Structure 1
Amino acid sequence: MTKAFTRSGPLAAVAARFGPALAVAAVAALSAAALRPPRPAGADAPPGRFSARRARRHLDALAAEPRPAGSPAAARARDHVVRELRELGFEVDVQDAIGVNDLGPAPYGPRYLGAGRVRNIVARYPGTVPGPAVLLMTHYDSVAHGPGASDAGVPLAALLEAVRALLAGPAPRSDLLVVVTDGEEGGLLGGRAFFAEHPYADAAGVVLNFDARGTRGPVLMFETGPGNGPVTGHLARSSAPAFGSSTFVEVYRRLPNATDFTMSRERGIPGLNFANIEGFVHYHGPLDDLAHADDATLQHHGELALDLARRLTSAPVTGLTGQDSVFFTLGRGRLVRYPAAASAPLAALAAAVWATGLWRWSRRAAPYEMTKGLPALAARLAAGAGGAAGLVQAVGRARPEFRLHGDFFDSGLVYGAVCGLSAAIGGLSGSRRATARPAARAEGSSGGSWRAGRSAARAEGLSGGSRGAGRSAARAEGLSGGSPGAGRLAAATVPLAVANAAFAARLPGASYLATWPLLAGGAGLHLLASGSPGVRALGAAVAGIPAAGLLAPLSRLLFTGLTPRMGWTSALALGLLGELAAPAAEHLPPRVRRAAVALAAGAAAAQAVRVALRGCGRERPRPETLGYLLDGDTGAALWLSTDPAPNGWTRRALGAWPRSGELPHYFAGWRRRFLHAPAPRLPLPPPEAGVLDVSRDGGVLRVALGLRSPREASQIRLALPGGGVRRWAVEGRAPAGDPAVSSGPWELWLHAVPPEGLRVELEVNAGHGPVEILVADRSHGLPSALTDRLLAAGPAPGGRVQAASLHVETWGNATWTTRRLTVPG
């Protein structure tokens, strides 16, 4: 304890020692913990308030079974929504259309092209004053692999309850549109059809889209329309917790992902896109069921929809496009925002404060501090990221669900392990440096003990001695500019300064992630260069608190949004936070630091082992794929699986040693290995593919095909292994834009195929030779005859579930029949 602390009393000494670290840790913990949805309201909530309990009635009716587009279950869900909206006074139209879309390159296979028959629900509640409408949007179809309780049963149930609560109050001034699309899971087919053909698409003045990429967690606002400043202002004033970031907007614009909101953004309509993303391990599979739907998440969807719809319909829907904003959430859902144009001046201010702080610090630090600190910083961040990646992969090898989702049923425990590992790596490195340097100074002193020299220097520098003597004392003390913690802070601000300049110039929406920590770090360097221990303690807190408020929740969101498979990004955010908080940690007594490091390392190891050793059960099943393919031309039949190896169930079909490899004869262009083995032949009719018209114009062959499935499979895949397709259309509808000529294998997926089939038109660069076409129809699940044959060997093993609809597994757990035809050149 220093004499200055002694004069201020024991409380000041304790506050200076423990206060900065406790403040930083508290802000980090509270900021990360604030990422949670509100508590669900009961059925006794006032009529004008959203109630998750009342909305649950709709969810139970919608999500009792899978409802892929075109299925009887989808029709029942559509009837429920139409009935409820009409009872509320909406004018309801069911748009029957053909949707077509090009979603670009697909994982493991050719470019994803989709088309199909859709039936969108389009409802309008007229406002008291004519004008542009507020459009609330979600979808009602699910994948065939699961009941879609969260994707998008929860958002749909939330919208039905939200509009009921809205209409329980004063009549809306502006028109209210509710659009519930069909065929979203087949490639945004309903959204494309609505915005391409329905007259109400031109009436939308603002769009609020609600979706889900998981089964729980807070609802995030991750995408906006153009000129988002005015509409994000409404979100910032919302009474519901608003979790959003302009960083999400910048990143999402550069990803190949899309939702129904994509079409409104392409048309230049202002708006906001919302989704919850936790519980990704249940996404698109059998476990996206009512048991895993979270009422708190349902409440959050509903509160946001109700509050924003109430605000936007109470005034003219104009002036909602303006300048873009930089925005982010602090604490319990409070959105901070400012014009994106201010990002450059703020970045310049942060750079100025940092540069002057670094200059002042460098005058008091050892000459080698910066040059030594940057390589050490890179090593620590690399160790943290590499350690997190290794930890996740090691645990993932023991957890079968990780292979598909890149996520865990116990992802919270794995995130805790990553946090513990990051804290241990940062703390262990800091502890070594903090203890090594005083020893070196002691050996290099020219007389007397190091402690005596430090006491003398401190006394001289803090009680009115010369400026030079004070500076020498500060350096000798090891807690001012030359301290290890301050050195780590100084080194960490260098990459922050680079990011600050780059983000302000190219990614203004993400600039706050560098600007505010850099500004705080520069101010902290100013204060840490002081000769007063109390001022240095304040500097340690100032440097770490803003980073804790921004980087701790960012780390959690990165772990969830990018999945644990990219958990190293989360560790990088935590590592940078640790560097900026190093001065605060350095104030702690050495024994406390060592104990914290040991506790963090032990917790990380315990969490990782706990997840890895957990067995399979109802909450932790073993996902599997098993399909059946019948070649209608040759009669050959195959069992198919994309699993890495047979398990107790699939071994009954595949045998213990099935063949493994790609199957280009049936899946040309799919870069994925299949387990396959001979299967019994079933009397299943192949799809019908009639050539309706053929013509040639030079080297271009025009072909019209009529495709249908005699066994009424819901999907048909049309593939040209030789590629060369210049243009395609389904029932006269072609995708927007100019499609590129396919140089490799080409395929088109048809969804919700009606019994009478669909007409497909192709233009193909055919040269002078014939064009080979493969047609396959797909129905979900295995025929009962095959299931009975597998069950004849005994009851099905426990702890198993059909794999989710992800990547190639989107087409797994299915029955295929194929046929080929050749169109002469």
Structure 2
Amino acid sequence: MDTASPEAARALPRRSSVLALLALLVVGLAAVLLTSSPTPLTTDAPADVFSAGRATTHIEAVAAEPRTLGSPAHSAAREYLVGELEALGWRTSVKSGVGWYSPTDGATQRGARVHNIVALFPGTDPTGTVVLAAHYDTVRGSPGAADDGIGIGTVLESARAITAGPAPRNDVIVLLTDGEEDGLLGSQMFTQTRSPSLGPTVVLNHEARGNAGIPVTFRITDPNGTLVETLAHAPGANADSFTQFGFEVLPNDTDFKHFAAAGFHAYDTAIARGSAYYHSPLDTPDRLSHESLQQMGDATLTVARELVESDLTALDSGGEDVVTAAPWGLIHYPRWVEFVLTGLLVAAVGWLVAARIRRGEATYWTVAAATGVSAVAVGVAALAAWLPWFIAMRLAPGMASPVTSEPYRPDVYQLAAVVAAAGVLVTTYLWARTRLPAASLVVGAFVLIAFTSVIALPYVGVASVLVLPALPALAGIQIARFLTDRPPLPTLSVAVGAVPAALLLVPAVVVSFDAGLMFGAPLAGVFVAVLFSLTLVLWEAVLPSSATRVGRISVTQTAGTAVVASVLVCVLVAGYLNRDGATDPRLEHLWYALDSDRDTAIWASPDSPRSEWSRELLVDPASPLTAEFPWRDEPMAHGPAPVAPLQAPEMEVLDDTAAGGARELRLRLSSPRGANAVGLWVDSTTATVHGATVDGHRAEPADDFGFRFWAAGPEGVEVTLTLSVLEDRVGLRLIDLSDDLSVVPGYEPPTDRVVMAPTVVVSRSLRI
């Protein structure tokens, strides 16, 4: 096919196009730098401002060791936090009770005795309540300086600054929830037992999935119009409706879930960079970004101060806004505007298609083919961006965190992802240009963007990710067609039209990686593809002709080879930077299970062995270990272990009655060795559970009934079961669970490895 169409005669000058692309890259990188975090303020900062230095004092106090439910460190942290709030003059209390989580898939239920810290600063003329929320418990083995020390520090320092200012109009509550890590238990109890005196309530919830990065308000309840407008006034605030959509398709959750379900208005804000440290023993105060802490605190204090002086009864009247972040602040507009903008894009693209076909620069067939090529290119770019890290993990799995599959130093892997995606797009374009007119390829890219925007409209904010950069870019291209007789102006028009794309999409590529390489790299590849599509007119002028050859190799083959070589170099450099011994200690899971009935023990891990040390312990092939770990069905690597002298959990039968084919058991479970949690599972071949209460809280009946209960204490926990009996005796499986592997004889962790979520389980079986 002859591609030397009238479009080729009007191609932009190569030199000016190169300069335009470089300028757009500079604009995009400048936008990334402009969103960097502020300089942390020290402890001598003015009393009415947020100080990361003062907030760090609280984080260091509570994050010296893990705060697992029922542990001494957990109790000590609670006492410290209560004391600090009382010292500020807030009316502080500890609300205790049972929090419970029943998974909808019938898996093991979870509960705990939780102790929420609630402190009130009464308003002068309240219209409602502003709640500053974080959680103070941690997973096993992690001191939780980020998760959720950053939330604790933000909340306490914001509370101090509010106290130092004028008396607020609305009531303000500091809520430090308990049991978040094992099923959002504290927030569930708080919302179910909340006081009616709260009135209209807005919650600022704080979280972390890493130890650095820009704090992003990734979820806001609807109606969100007033909340978004308030957030937009905060320095360094970052929010995005697309991020909310992305988070909601993931299995993760936060206390926000219960706040929203209870009808509260709420923000959910978190940092996510540095996720290799998430839930790790290395989540320590010295590794937490003070810049991120300062930025989170600045935004929280500004939003809280505005809300405490607002009429909170008006929050329900706010509309539904779409929001996205720009270097200068938040862009937000009513939801109906997103429909209008998408309609304008569809109309403009339709006009573009008709005009190019009318001028003979394209046909319906070539536009359709180009649209298909663009769709394939986007998919392959996303795959190519994901592939370098996927391959690296297969070659050296020890580099990746067992929780987030992220290395300590991901930057060069991120560069490899961007290079791979861009390389696929350039190579695909060079290949397609030998088969389709350049004009059709440009039009096809815009058709794909418009079509995707339309099908994304049901999901708030997703269409805007494409429409906001595409409309100006399309306008720049169309204006350039009327300036062909004035050589510098067409290139300038296209470049100016693409500036919004650079401002929005280059930061989007960078922020995508906060989701981690496994999830963020493919998304970054998609954003690279969108940016490439919107600047395709410039690339068409810059890239060599498809007929160009380097020796006997075509330009397409040359480009492909260069891309593969570049990605390979990036992967090798990244692997060297993340080599064993060059970073913080690598992370491993290691669990221990003692079967007290058989007096046998095993080592186990939910992951494959990641080092010579763990391979020596986990010598047997992975298989389900439901007897040792009744809450897990997935295969686990394992191997024999020494038998530790640990007491088994105990069960006392308090009452046993039978009537009409049903049997009711009242039991007390306890852990003589003082483990953090106890658990009970009913053998479904011997009985079916029709009703159950645990520590007075109703559990969901199930054919395969089981639960884990944290912080039962020395007195244990009382359980009532109503059963239909299938055999003469009911089979029960008991466990208790702690987190100190040093109780195992001969256990010596290597100095170059850190064990995540250390677990010690002692089990026994009973038939009654």
TM-score, structure 1 normalization = 0.83
- The offset of 1:566, in angstroms, is 5.6
Residue of structure 2 equivalent to 1:612: 575
Is 1:124 aligned to residue 124 of structure 2?
no
- 1:327 alignment partner, SS class: strand
- 1:318 alignment partner, SS class: helix
Residue of structure 1 equivalent to 2:764: 819
Distance 1:766 1:220, change over 3 A: farther
Residue of structure 2 equivalent to 1:571: 525
In 2, the alpha carbon distance for the partners of 1:278 and 1:609 equals 22
Code of the aligned partner of 2:110:
G
After superposition, what is the alpha-carbon deviation per residue over 1:698-749, rounded to whole angstroms, capped at 9, x for unaligned?
56544332111000000112223428544433222236xxx5x645x44311
Is 1:628 aligned to residue 573 of structure 2?
no
Residue of structure 1 equivalent to 2:692: 728
Residue of structure 2 equivalent to 1:556: 510
Is 1:711 aligned to residue 711 of structure 2?
no
In 2, the alpha carbon distance for the partners of 1:225 and 1:384 equals 33
Code of the aligned partner of 2:99:
G
Residue of structure 1 equivalent to 2:609: 645
Residue of structure 2 equivalent to 1:661: 623
Residues 354 and 523, structure 1, Cα contact 8 Å, conserved in 2? no
In 1, the alpha carbon distance for the partners of 2:420 and 2:728 equals 62
After superposition, what is the alpha-carbon deviation per residue over 1:442-477, rounded to whole angstroms, capped at 9, x for unaligned?
xxxxxxxxxxxxxxxxxxxxxxxxxxxxxxxxxxxx
- The offset of 1:513, in angstroms, is 1.6
After superposition, what is the alpha-carbon deviation per residue over 1:367-409, rounded to whole angstroms, capped at 9, x for unaligned?
3531331232234223322322321211112241426222111
- The offset of 1:72, in angstroms, is 1.2
- The offset of 1:818, in angstroms, is 0.8
In 2, the alpha carbon distance for the partners of 1:316 and 1:146 equals 41
Distance 1:127 1:768, change over 3 A: same
Code of the aligned partner of 1:370:
V
Residue of structure 2 equivalent to 1:421: 420
In 2, the alpha carbon distance for the partners of 1:233 and 1:372 equals 43
Is 1:487 aligned to residue 487 of structure 2?
no
Residue of structure 2 equivalent to 1:440: none
Is 1:396 aligned to residue 413 of structure 2?
no
Is 1:380 aligned to residue 380 of structure 2?
no
Residue of structure 2 equivalent to 1:250: 245
The correspondence of residues 143-158 of structure 1 with structure 2, limited to 5 A, is 143-158=139-154
- 1:185 alignment partner, SS class: helix
Code of the aligned partner of 2:266:
G
Runs of at least 5 residues in structure 1 that lack an aligned partner in the other structure: 1-11, 438-481, 806-812
Code of the aligned partner of 1:578:
F
Residues 420 and 601, structure 1, Cα contact 8 Å, conserved in 2? no
Residues 24 and 581, structure 1, Cα contact 8 Å, conserved in 2? no
Which deviates more, 349-358 or 195-204?
195-204
In 2, the alpha carbon distance for the partners of 1:411 and 1:421 equals 15
In 2, the alpha carbon distance for the partners of 1:701 and 1:388 equals 58
- 1:816 alignment partner, SS class: strand
In 1, the alpha carbon distance for the partners of 2:521 and 2:543 equals 31
After superposition, what is the alpha-carbon deviation per residue over 1:577-620, rounded to whole angstroms, capped at 9, x for unaligned?
212221122333749x9999998765533321112234222734
In 1, the alpha carbon distance for the partners of 2:432 and 2:760 equals 63
- The offset of 1:123, in angstroms, is 0.2
Is 1:52 aligned to residue 58 of structure 2?
no
- The offset of 1:36, in angstroms, is 3.3
- 1:625 alignment partner, SS class: strand
- The offset of 1:139, in angstroms, is 0.9
Bigger-Rg structure (1/2): 1
Residue of structure 1 equivalent to 2:478: 526
In 2, the alpha carbon distance for the partners of 1:14 and 1:567 equals 31
Is 1:678 aligned to residue 631 of structure 2?
no
Aligned-pair identity (%) = 29
Residues 718 and 749, structure 1, Cα contact 8 Å, conserved in 2? yes
Residues 488 and 580, structure 1, Cα contact 8 Å, conserved in 2? no
In 1, the alpha carbon distance for the partners of 2:539 and 2:653 equals 75
- 2:738 alignment partner, SS class: strand
- The offset of 1:659, in angstroms, is 4.8
Q: Out of 704, 714, 717, which is 1:755 matched to?
A: 714
- 1:273 alignment partner, SS class: strand
Residues 14 and 541, structure 2, Cα contact 8 Å, conserved in 1? no
- The offset of 1:418, in angstroms, is 0.6
Residues 644 and 743, structure 2, Cα contact 8 Å, conserved in 1? no
Residue of structure 2 equivalent to 1:328: 324
In 2, the alpha carbon distance for the partners of 1:326 and 1:536 equals 33
Residues 103 and 187, structure 1, Cα contact 8 Å, conserved in 2? no
Residues 725 and 765, structure 1, Cα contact 8 Å, conserved in 2? yes
After superposition, what is the alpha-carbon deviation per residue over 1:178-228, rounded to whole angstroms, capped at 9, x for unaligned?
011111112111111211224278445211111111111111101112211
Residues 399 and 580, structure 2, Cα contact 8 Å, conserved in 1? no
Residues 128 and 171, structure 1, Cα contact 8 Å, conserved in 2? yes
Is 1:190 aligned to residue 186 of structure 2?
yes
Residue of structure 2 equivalent to 1:42: 42
In 1, the alpha carbon distance for the partners of 2:583 and 2:282 equals 9
Which deviates more, 216-225 or 695-704?
695-704
Residue of structure 2 equivalent to 1:84: 84
Distance 1:523 1:176, change over 3 A: same
Code of the aligned partner of 1:582:
L
The correspondence of residues 537-556 of structure 1 with structure 2, limited to 5 A, is 537-541=491-495, 544-556=498-510
- 1:817 alignment partner, SS class: strand
Residue of structure 2 equivalent to 1:226: 222
- The offset of 1:66, in angstroms, is 0.9
- 2:766 alignment partner, SS class: strand
After superposition, what is the alpha-carbon deviation per residue over 1:651-674, rounded to whole angstroms, capped at 9, x for unaligned?
5645xx435422233345733323
Code of the aligned partner of 1:64:
A
In 1, the alpha carbon distance for the partners of 2:214 and 2:390 equals 27
Residue of structure 2 equivalent to 1:471: none
Runs of at least 5 residues in structure 2 that lack an aligned partner in the other structure: 1-11, 549-554
- 2:389 alignment partner, SS class: helix
Residues 127 and 172, structure 1, Cα contact 8 Å, conserved in 2? yes
Count of aligned residue pairs for this structure pair = 738
Q: Out of 487, 505, 514, which is 2:466 matched to?
A: 514
Residues 659 and 675, structure 1, Cα contact 8 Å, conserved in 2? yes
Code of the aligned partner of 2:294:
Q
In 2, the alpha carbon distance for the partners of 1:273 and 1:379 equals 35
After superposition, what is the alpha-carbon deviation per residue over 1:357-376, rounded to whole angstroms, capped at 9, x for unaligned?
22213333133531331232
In 2, the alpha carbon distance for the partners of 1:698 and 1:538 equals 86
Distance 1:646 1:353, change over 3 A: closer
Is 1:300 aligned to residue 295 of structure 2?
yes
Residue of structure 1 equivalent to 2:7: none
In 2, the alpha carbon distance for the partners of 1:430 and 1:339 equals 37
- 2:148 alignment partner, SS class: helix
In 2, the alpha carbon distance for the partners of 1:716 and 1:212 equals 28
Distance 1:26 1:765, change over 3 A: farther
Q: Out of 668, 682, 689, which is 2:651 matched to?
A: 689
Residues 351 and 519, structure 1, Cα contact 8 Å, conserved in 2? no
In 2, the alpha carbon distance for the partners of 1:122 and 1:799 equals 41
Residues 134 and 313, structure 1, Cα contact 8 Å, conserved in 2? yes
Residues 420 and 563, structure 2, Cα contact 8 Å, conserved in 1? yes
- RMSD over aligned Cα atoms: 2.9
TM-score, structure 2 normalization = 0.89
In 1, the alpha carbon distance for the partners of 2:68 and 2:690 equals 30
